[in-house]
Amino acid sequence: CIEDLNDYNSLNCLYHIVKNLMTHYMEAYLKHIPFYDRDDYYQVGIITLWRVLRRAYKEPSIVDNFTNYFIVSLKTHMPKSLKKCIF
pLDDT per position as a tens digit, 3-61: 566 677 777 788 888 888 888 888 887 777 767 777 878 888 888 888 888 888 888 88
CA within 13 Å, CB half, 47: 12
Where b means 16+ CB within 10 Å and e means fewer, 44-77 reads bbeebbeebbeebeeeeebeeebeebbbebbeeb
Rounded distance, CA 65 to CA 59, Å?
Answer: 12
Per the prediction, the chain carries an average pLDDT of 79
The DSSP symbol for 2 reads -
Q: What pLDDT is recorded for position 56?
A: 84
Cβ–Cβ under 8 Å, residues 29 and 82: yes
- Has residue 71 got a pLDDT over 70? yes
Kindly report whether the global pTM for this prediction surpasses the value 0.85.
Answer: no
